[in-house]
A and B are shown apart, each in its own frame.
Chain A
Amino acid sequence: GAGVSQSPSNKVTEKGKDVELRCDPISGHTALYWYRQSLGQGLEFLIYFQGNSAPDKSGLPSDRFSAERTGGSVSTLTIQRTQQEDSAVYLCASSKPYQETQYFGPGTRLLVL
């Protein structure tokens, strides 16, 4: 079946602009996660959605970052007033209800000039 998909694959933007990154989780997966990976670094947790529960936003690095999940499926990560340090690969993952395994998408490579 289809895996986690993310769009766009690559995004180049200018400093100060807003960007939206999209994640389509695997059908039936109620948990959705956003991570980011800066060049040569490990993965950094950003935000976690589980069903209709309030999201765990504890990993968002600043108030310029926000995410929403509409209808319990598609999620959008928004970065406002982008900065050069926001350049990274943004990864989305999903999992079945209360299942241990997370399935990752291919990521969106964001470059802020």
Chain B
Amino acid sequence: DAKTTQPNSMESNEEEPVHLPCNHSTISGTDYIHWYRQLPSQGPEYVIHGLTSNVNNRMASLAIAEDRKSSTLILHRATLRDAAVYYCILRDDRGSTLGRLYFGRGTQLTVWP
């Protein structure tokens, strides 16, 4: 699986938007971009994923660069509960090759009240 690069940490104030960047310059045409987050003392939870087009769900938005070499997870209004480690993961989601997720070190997001 292709490698991703994320900042080690970021900070935000509560109720402000947060943009978490991820670089994946070696992404292949069949790699999907997945985001998971891990709250303290919990297992990771799925946030969002996409292939080429920007994606929105109730948790976040995913903005994907036109060349797909980078993406940004957007939390529109950060809450204290959003403080977590955010992982950007690439995976070839063609059905027959589904399997492990490769977790890097992720970005530790701190949200200040």
Counting CB contacts under 8 A, is A25 at the interface? Answer: no
Q: CB-defined interface of B82-100 with A at 8 Å, one 1/0 digit per residue? A: 0000010001010100111
> Contacts A42-B106, A100-B93; is A106 near B100 (CB within 8 Å)?
no
Point out the residues of chain A lying under 8 angstroms from B105, CB to CB.
41-42
Which A21-62 residues have a C-beta within 8 angstroms of B?
31, 33, 35, 41-45, 48, 50, 56, 59
In the complex, residue of chain A having the shortest beta-carbon distance to the beta carbon of B99: A48
Give the docked Cα–Cα distance between A48 and B101 (Å): 10
Cβ A104 vs Cβ B43 within 8 A = yes
Count the B residues whose beta carbon is within 8 Å of the partner chain — how many?
21
Point out the residues of chain A lying under 8 angstroms from B103, CB to CB.
35, 42-44
Give the docked Cα–Cα distance between A84 and B71 (Å): 39
Cβ B95 vs Cβ A98 within 8 A = yes
Point out the residues of chain B lying under 8 angstroms from A106, CB to CB.
42-43
Counting CB contacts under 8 A, is B112 at the interface? Answer: no
Point out the residues of chain B lying under 8 angstroms from A104, CB to CB.
43-45
Counting CB contacts under 8 A, is A93 at the interface? Answer: yes
> Contacts A31-B98, A33-B100, A48-B99; is A102 near B46 (CB within 8 Å)?
yes
Cβ B43 vs Cβ A45 within 8 A = no
- Best-surrounded residue of A41, A43, A48 (most CB of chain B within 10 A): A43
- Best-surrounded residue of B45, B49, B101, B104 (most CB of chain A within 10 A): B101
Which A66-106 residues have a C-beta within 8 angstroms of B?
91, 93, 95, 98-106
Cβ B101 vs Cβ A102 within 8 A = yes
**10 contacts across the A-B interface (CB closer than 8 A):** A42-B103, A43-B101, A43-B103, A45-B101, A48-B100, A100-B49, A100-B93, A104-B43, A105-B43, A106-B43
Identify 7 new A-B residue pairs, CB closer than 8 A, beyond the known A42-B104, A43-B44, A93-B43. A50-B99, A56-B99, A91-B44, A93-B44, A99-B98, A100-B34, A104-B44
